[in-house]
């Protein structure tokens, strides 16, 4: 009598048809025969990348720049948090994550996890289980050094995750790399894998950035500065808050908050006054209020719930 093969992990699923996955040779496969190889401890689920994803993969796999700093960067992130010295956006995200609560042992997914620092932070806060996905091999190598959870290679537009299996999805500085069509697909994927009432936490670079530091730099330099092209950014791919609201509603997500951030002074400090004390950042946030309350910011924090 033959024994049915065991499912690899009930949280994982074939990104092509959503079917359960079973061990097959040196990788995994679904019953339809879609196969995915293992690369070390990670499974490679990558298919065709969204337009911006391939460029972002090459940047993350590069040998130079802050994306290549690896374990030292992650250790500094933890050390600075403990010392009360963080970048302002990091402080914003920490406050947002600390303000969320879930049932015991929540399932957490981070899309575009890079070195896994925010997944690790979320798991420490909520004492849950986590999966991190990224399109770049070197990102997962860094995450494996000190990140918490398990990590796999996958596109943000085709998540290898079972439907309704996640309590929280993190997507921080991801959607602006996908193009608007890719952003919509990725948002639908996040909604698909969230359980009812589950939360999406996203930070998104915004097109609605009038009078911000980046927009000022673009005007002063004729567009030579103010986009962060070295990070794979293109202004036409940035996501305006109105587009986020529209796509979220289409995906079945109800927005709880959408807060513009990085008006002028907070972004100035993040660039040129690194690891400023928390109290100083709170004061800089007040200086930016005249922009952010009108909806202008280099980016925004969005939290949405699965209906």
CATH architecture of the region 46-306: 3-Layer(aba) Sandwich (3.40)
Burial of 286 (0-12, 13-18, 19+ CB in 10 A): exposed
Give the whole-angstrom CA distance, residue 51 versus residue 199: 27
What number is the average pLDDT over the span 166-193?
97
Residue 62 has pLDDT above 50, yes or no: yes
Torsional sign, CA 35, 54, 186, 9: positive
Reported confidence tier of residue 68, pLDDT bands at 50, 70, 90: very low
Domain residues of the chain, as ranges? 1-39, 46-306
87, two tokens: 């970048």
Q: Which residue has the tokens 């070195």?
A: 115
Residue 65 has pLDDT above 50, yes or no: no
Of the chain, the percentage scoring pLDDT greater than 90 comes to 59
Residue 183 has pLDDT above 70, yes or no: yes
**Mean confidence (pLDDT) of the chain:** 87
- Asked whether the beta carbons of 22 and 5 are under 8 A apart, the reply is yes
Instruction: Give the chain's largest Cα–Cα span.
Output: 75
What number is the average pLDDT over the span 34-47?
92
Q: Which residues contact 94 (CB under 8 A, 6 or more apart)?
A: 81, 86, 121
Reported confidence tier of residue 185, pLDDT bands at 50, 70, 90: very high
């Amino acid at each position: 009598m033959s024994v049915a093969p065991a499912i690899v992990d009930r949280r994982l699923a074939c990104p092509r048809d959503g079917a359960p996955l079973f061990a097959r040779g040196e990788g995994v496969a679904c019953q339809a025969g879609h196969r995915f190889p293992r690369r070390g401890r990670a499974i490679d689920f990558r298919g065709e990348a969204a337009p911006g994803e391939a460029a972002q993969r090459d940047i993350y796999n590069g040998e130079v720049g802050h994306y290549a700093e690896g374990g030292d960067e992650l250790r500094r992130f933890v050390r600075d948090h403990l010392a009360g010295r963080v970048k302002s956006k990091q402080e914003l995200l920490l406050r947002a994550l600390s303000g969320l609560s879930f049932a015991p042992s929540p399932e957490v997914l981070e899309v575009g996890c890079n070195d896994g620092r925010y997944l690790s932070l979320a798991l420490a806060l909520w004492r849950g289980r986590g999966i991190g996905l990224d399109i770049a091999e070197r990102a997962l190598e860094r995450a494996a050094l000190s990140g918490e959870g398990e990590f796999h290679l996958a596109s943000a537009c085709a998540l290898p995750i079972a439907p309704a299996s996640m309590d929280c999805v993190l997507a921080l500085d991801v959607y602006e790399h996908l193009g608007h069509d890719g952003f919509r697909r990725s948002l639908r994927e996040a909604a698909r894998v969230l359980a009812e009432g589950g939360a999406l936490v996203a930070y998104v670079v915004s097109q609605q950035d009038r009078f911000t530091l980046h927009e000022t730099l673009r005007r002063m330099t004729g567009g030579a500065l103010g986009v962060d092209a070295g990070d794979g950014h293109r202004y036409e791919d940035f996501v305006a808050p109105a587009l986020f609201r529209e796509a979220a509603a289409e995906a079945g997500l109800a927005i709880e908050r959408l807060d513009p951030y990085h008006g002028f002074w907070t972004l100035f400090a993040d660039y040129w006054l690194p690891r400023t004390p928390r109290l100083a950042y709170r004061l800089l946030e007040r200086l930016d209020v005249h922009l952010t309350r009108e909806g202008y910011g280099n980016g925004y924090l969005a939290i949405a719930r699965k209906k």
